[in-house]
Chains A and B, each alone.
Chain A
Amino acid sequence: DAGVIQSPRHEVTEMGQEVTLRCKPISGHDYLFWYRQTMMRGLELLIYFNNNVPIDDSGMPEDRFSAKMPNASFSTLKIQPSEPRDSAVYFCASRTGTGKNIQYFGAGTRLSVL
């Protein structure tokens, strides 16, 4: 398997613009997680899905953030409108619903909001 695939790898945008980050989990994985990593706050869980259903979105910072998982092989994280403080690396991870609960991470999307 190719692992968790995120796109784009880098995104530079201007304040106020809409940003959409994409994630393709590992085939057969039931859980999908979105994280944000910053120097100040480290790695934070934003939201996670189980079988395409959002289970816990308590980490989503504001209403400007939204996430969807229309099917088992695709998820998006959208920021509208974007602000400079949203600049961070956003990671997607997935895991199976059984076994040791090991999460497999994508390479991340580095977002810069100017």
Chain B
Amino acid sequence: KQEVTQIPAALSVPEGENLVLNCSFTDSAIYNLQWFRQDPGKGLTSLLLIQSSQREQTSGRLNASLDKSSGRSTLYIAASQPGDSATYLCAGLSNDYKLSFGAGTTVTVRA
């Protein structure tokens, strides 16, 4: 069974600082790795998806990398803004098409 771990559990930074969120997974046989954002009381919004054959994906200020051999993914958010405050979850999609989620990293960006 895929186990996904996210470190740190919480992070507080001043506006403008770059954010680095870490995700590790136990089973390297993943189909893809996804990063989601969850705002309080809301559902999940997909941010980036990295296929197993890819090393990274970028969208605006967001960049996610994937290293299957070490079982790690990292989400970078450049020049953080207060609007980036949310919980970020990573999830690995197994070959049986089931997503396994980490517990999330709660980010607070201070103005």
B20-28, B72-80, B92-100 - the one binding chain A: B92-100
Question: A102 to B31, Cβ gap below 8 A?
Answer: no
Closest A residue to B4 by CB, please name it: A42
Alpha-carbon separation in the docked complex, A31 to B103 (Å):
24
Contact residues in B for A93 (Cβ distance below 8 Å): 44
Contact residues in A for B101 (Cβ distance below 8 Å): 42-43
Closest B residue to A40 by CB, please name it: B103
B34 touches A (CB below 8 Å): yes
Question: B98 to A45, Cβ gap below 8 A?
Answer: yes
Contact residues in A for B32 (Cβ distance below 8 Å): 100-101
Question: B44 to A105, Cβ gap below 8 A?
Answer: yes
Contact residues in B for A107 (Cβ distance below 8 Å): 41-43
Q: A-facing mask of B26-59, CB < 8 A → 1, else 0?
A: 0000011010100001111110010100000000
Interface residues on B, range: 20 to 34
Alpha-carbon separation in the docked complex, A43 to B103 (Å):
7
Question: B45 to A105, Cβ gap below 8 A?
Answer: yes
Alpha-carbon separation in the docked complex, A31 to B41 (Å):
24
Among A56, A91, A102, A108, contact of B98 (Cβ-Cβ < 8 Å): A56
Question: A102 to B34, Cβ gap below 8 A?
Answer: yes
With A43-B89, A56-B96 given, is the CB distance from A103 to B102 under 8 Å?
no
A25 touches B (CB below 8 Å): no
List the 4 closest pairs (A to B, CB-CB), nearest first. A105-B43, A43-B101, A105-B44, A42-B103
The chain B residues found within 8 Å of chain A, CB to CB, are 31-32, 34, 36, 41-46, 49, 51, 89, 91, 93, 96-104
